[in-house]
Structure 1
């Protein structure tokens, strides 16, 4: 059934173009449904809450179909695949119109859902975390008026020029179009963030609603409607939940251990010098730092949100990391103001939890988790405090003496010193967060009493450690040789973003002369280990002389090759010489005594290297024999 809003506004007030059948409009809606829902989600105010915005966006798009044949607006669809499609232009106009109408509601009407469907009982649905940059953009979008927000989205997501944006807004009933465009001009954010996962209402995370409270409400409804009203009123009153706990959901249990974990006065705090005499050197000996370690109200909010995040809290966790509340009072590592947010970092022996809230209000709270068990000295050198404008700030371990930034793609360039204030670094560019071609990969260089090591931001709470060398005998990436080994393969680190990676090792396992006297190619195996143990990702990469990047020849996941348990690897690639001839090149680690190719290419070679003439597009199976007589298959 169509909504009253859709029925009243089926005919656009703009000049009409081709007549669109309902079937044509439906085809456009189905084909471009994810983009239309993203448009609606971005135009809706954040006051609805992330779950409410998701359901409202889907509701508006699903009710954007006209009742019958309708003149399409004379506005191009603009994007490839939609250019010239009057059905898409008509549906998009209806989505813009109803989203603006929904965003314009005030008072008690702003809390009402647009229509009874779609609804999801028992679940809260919200997009995945888009990171600090996406959160900051969402806050700036929310500060705009509805028409200005729509103008920014139409410019950035739909790539409409200002003339066409004016037509869409005017057709949607906006009166002050020029004022909306002027207001949107003041938004400094790049349009690239509009495609962030944090704004994708079709790729969702699910969490249960308050199960015990829902059961109580059901029982109360069966007894009497009056009891339900009283219960709802009591749940909404300020008290231990809504007021002091900020964005946390209302309390649903009075377990003594759970209550103790929410008491800021019971937080564990470590002496600043504890790490110097402790048998352990990890997060357990980090002191509490930051200018807000005495702010009990902030600490209480952070603990309450950790225990029971409300529907408006953006929660993320690295793969394999539980996101439940602490079993007892955790350890405080940091509480302070970073950029435009108040940040609290806590540690419970297994996980790090970072709580962040905007300085200017309670909306936009973020809660991030990372598993850090058995971190050791090398794995507990830094924690990400904030990300803003493509940069990242770190909180460093107390034993770190100096920090610097380095471009991993330029091994000969010196590191740039980073200023430290109470263990917090000045901003460093984060290549993992920047879209477009990879021209640089910036890493954090840490120096302490045991040496120098490199870590890199992969979009998570704890940066990944970089090493080099044969598995089982790896070393830090500090010398010139290790830096040169990593340089051609730095950009491949983008393939392991947001995977819970603990460390990445680069192993140069072979060098191979190229046919036609083209020089010598290098073979490197990179292995990304995760905090959860399983799910390691392995890439065999091939680098020719003069090339800026290594080419991925083979990849695998959750295999022992290229690791300490199986320090061996065999991989192959089709390569075209300068003379235009194609070859199958294969290489194995040093303990490979022969290599055989079969299938689309036939050939055998003694030793770890194989070079065979091949046809373009040929496929081959590789098998090698090791010194101990065992066989190894080519990495896939």
Structure 2
């Protein structure tokens, strides 16, 4: 990316560039301007429309009339760039204020192809979701500060010139994005995820195009027939008309709606697509099951999703029950445990649906859930049927080995499963009751065609797709921060054995993944051993996540005992890549009967203060002070950069 210039943020009217000068500036900085427009445009436009509109906004910034002669002193090229940038920002900001998006602009026009930036990693995805939740002016402020290198006062001036009513509020909203530092955001914004000049090409919906072409041909024939009929009617006298001529015509069917009831429009992936693609999600699943050719069953499933059947419809948190916006993809159709089961995917809206039809004539059911950004692990299985205490799964085609294990018994070995056509036998699932005597999980391993020896765990939380479990080990002094890893080793399994029962509170919340982060270890007073502090974070399919911080005293003999939840919060970036610092406090009684106020923070905490009923501070990430049980204690941590931090919630 070119190094930003440092021109004045506002160009006087007599410094407007001429057409030729503006064209030279635009061509030189085209990629930079398109990236800026793409970041400011509303994400609701969709990936393809946003890319095309970003290029159009920049191309439309070229003035159409010559400028008056202007002085040649000063940085003419810099002033030209600032003038073009202001026009780009003003146009991009206007898109968010429009109630309805205008039709595709003049140029560029892309027919028959869909454009999308290259997919980024977890960091880019989280930043994209965070940016989607703030106004366009805040996105513009972030881009000007980090991509253009402007100071806050220069950014305010540029925003005001572009028509932003409250530039200071936009700057504050940009600075308030959770868990985001200027350094990390600058790196992420420079990634391909936010570069509309580096795109991937995909075909548009081929079946829909074919149907539209047929509909257009049919409409043309109908128009010719209507014209000929009208001509004949005009030359026919009134006395030759009959009563039949006055009958109203039948209402026309909505164009392109056949995919909501016609199984012939269903899409399917080639059987080996998963082994030859970098997009390993539900779109790579082939159609499986003995009834995938049963047009009557598939038609009933489609009509149920369109809302025209008798099925009882339920939705997962954040999912819409609306009919698909394009022909769905067939994933599975067969009889399972006395039910006819159909799995459908609407890739355009990232939703998966399960239609179940009892053989005894009871009311069918349709369950719809989100599948946003599913991957190798989060698209590894879908629930076909669920009974109290057990479930059958359909495994992804890239799963080479499967088994079950009890998360509360880390020393036990995995019991292997033998799926048939990807369908597992009935396997145990966690109990819906309050007891937590066991916590069954699925142990899966990907094919070596995907990645060598990639094993991972997923667990049933009452959703259509099981949740992926990961573990982040405790930090070692002087080593870089560790990333979440799969729950396969002894340390990870023993840690999850003490956190597993917390998963019961996450049922029905639309959880896609849960990470168990051992963020601190603390040597307890009175020689009582070492305690562990754990932050368990649950991320949902719809984006937000929640955390629960546990204090785990030294493990006693016998079955693993869960820790005590000492802090929790919903809709937070804490304990994630964008919230890497955490602190919490707990009350603890030593074996000698003495009560203490304890606190522990993550690796970048340099000091902890305890106030309220006590007054103490300790260097480093842990603290322990004698305090009676009823004494109020407030915990505050100081980070290495001087910022303060309070416990979640």
Q: Same fold (TM over 0.5)?
A: yes
For the residues of structure 2 that align with 1:601 and 1:253, how far apart are their CA atoms? 77
Deviation at 1:316, TM superposition (A): 1.9
Higher mean alpha-carbon deviation, 313-322 vs 437-446, is at 313-322
1:58-94 CA distances to partner (integer Å, 9 max, x unpaired)? xxxxxxxxxxxxxxxxxxxxxxxxxxxxxxxxxxxxx
Determine the structure 1 residue equivalent to 2:37.
none
Cα deviation per residue 1:148-173 (whole Å; 9 max; x = unaligned)?
Answer: xxxxxxxxxxxxxxxxxxxxxxxxxx
Greater Cα offset, 588-597 or 464-473: 464-473
**Secondary structure, in 3 states, of the residue corresponding to 2:257?**
helix
Say if 1:527 and 1:538, in contact at 8 Å, map to a contact too: yes
- Structure 2 counterpart of 1:351: 351
Is residue 409 of structure 1 aligned with residue 422 of structure 2?
no
- The whole-number CA distance in structure 2 between the counterparts of 1:333 and 1:574 is 51
Choose from 525, 542, 567 the match for 2:551. Answer: 542
Report matched runs for 1:31-50 at 5 Å. none
Give the Cα separation in 2 of the matches to 1:502 and 1:309: 30
Matches within 5 A, 1:614-625: 614-625=627-638
1:528 counterpart residue number: 538
Kept in 2, the 8 Å contact 1:316–1:368? The answer is yes
Any residues of structure 2 matched to 1:22-171 within 5 Å, and which? none
Q: 1:584 aligns with which of 597, 603, 618?
A: 597
Instruction: Give the count of matched residue pairs.
Output: 381
1:390 is displaced (CA, Å) by 1.4
User: For the residues of structure 2 that align with 1:625 and 1:294, how far apart are their CA atoms?
Assistant: 63
CA distance in 2, matches of 1:499, 1:617: 34
1:590 CA displacement: 1.3
- Residue number in structure 1 paired with 2:500: 490
Counterpart CA distance in 1 for 2:457 and 2:428 is 15
Which of 510, 521, 531 matches 1:500?
510
* Matching residue of 1:602: 615
Residue among 526, 529, 534 paired with 1:516: 526
For residue 458 of structure 2, the aligned residue among 452, 455, 458 is 455
Counterpart of 1:631? 644
CA distance in 1, matches of 2:317, 2:308: 19
Inter-partner Cα distance in structure 1 for 2:636 and 2:305: 51
Q: What is the Cα deviation at residue 267 of structure 1?
A: 0.7
Deviation at residue 374 of structure 1 after TM alignment? 1.4
Q: Secondary structure at the match of 2:515?
A: strand
SS across alignment from 1:489 = helix
TM-score using structure 1 length: 0.58
Query: Gapped runs of 5+ residues in structure 1?
Result: 1-251
Q: Cα gap change, 1:389/1:494 in structure 2, threshold over 3 Å: closer, same or farther?
A: closer
1:478 aligned residue? 488
Please give the alpha-carbon distance, in whole angstroms, between the structure 1 residues aligned to 2:648 and 2:469: 22
**C-alpha displacement at 1:455, in angstroms?**
0.6
Larger radius of gyration: 2
Matched with 1:184 is: none
TM-fit CA distance, 1:553:
1.1
**Alpha-carbon displacement from aligned partner over 1:115-164 (angstroms, at most 9, x marks no partner):** xxxxxxxxxxxxxxxxxxxxxxxxxxxxxxxxxxxxxxxxxxxxxxxxxx
CA distance in 2, matches of 1:619, 1:314: 51
Partner Cα separation in structure 1 for residue 517 and residue 403 of structure 2: 24
Contact kept, 8 Å, 1:263 with 1:329, in 2: the verdict is: no
How far has the Cα of 1:357 moved from its partner?
Answer: 1.1
Distance in 2, matches of 1:323 and 1:472, equals: 39
- 2:258–2:265 Cα contact (<8 Å) kept: no
Specify every segment of 5 or more residues in structure 2 that has no aligned partner in the other structure, as ranges. 1-250, 474-480
Stretch deviating more after TM superposition (463-472 or 350-359):
463-472
How many angstroms does 1:287 deviate by? 0.6
**CA RMSD across the alignment:** 1.7
Cα deviation digits, residues 466-508 of structure 1 (max 9, x gap):
1111687111111222112211001101111111111111110
Instruction: Say if 2:522 and 2:530, in contact at 8 Å, map to a contact too.
Output: yes
Task: Give, in whole Å, the separation in 1 of the partners of 2:617 and 2:596.
Answer: 14
CA contact (8 A) 1:262 1:329 kept: no
Describe the SS at the equivalent of 2:464: coil
From 465, 468, 471, the equivalent of 1:465 is 468
Alpha-carbon contact 1:258-1:327 (below 8 Å) kept: no
Deviation at 1:346, TM superposition (A): 0.3
Deviation at 1:463, TM superposition (A): 0.7
Report the Cα offset of residue 309 of structure 1.
5.4
Which of residues 306, 323, 326 in structure 1 aligns to 2:324? 326
Q: Do the aligned partners of 1:257 and 1:327 also contact (CA within 8 Å) in 2?
A: no
Residues 280 and 632 of structure 1, relative CA distance in 2, 3 Å threshold: same
Other structure's SS at 2:256 match: helix
C-alpha distance in 1, partners of 2:276/2:325?
27
Return the match for 1:572 from 585, 595, 598. 585
Residue 419 of structure 2 is matched in structure 1 by: 420
Q: Any conservation in 1 of the 2:468–2:512 contact (CA below 8 Å)? A: yes
Large movers: runs of 4+ above 6 Å: none
Aligned-residue offset at 1:577: 2.0
Secondary structure in 1 matching 2:393: strand
- Paired residue secondary structure (1:420): coil
What is the DSSP-based 3-state SS (H/G/I as helix, E as strand, rest coil) of the residue aligned with 1:482? Answer: helix
Q: CA deviation at 1:434?
A: 2.8
Cross-structure match for 1:340: 338
Residues of 1 paired with 2:323 and 2:547: CA distance? 34
Q: Secondary structure at the match of 1:462?
A: coil
Q: TM-score, normalised by structure 2?
A: 0.57
Change (3 A) 1:298 1:588: same
- What residue is the counterpart of 1:192 in the other structure? none
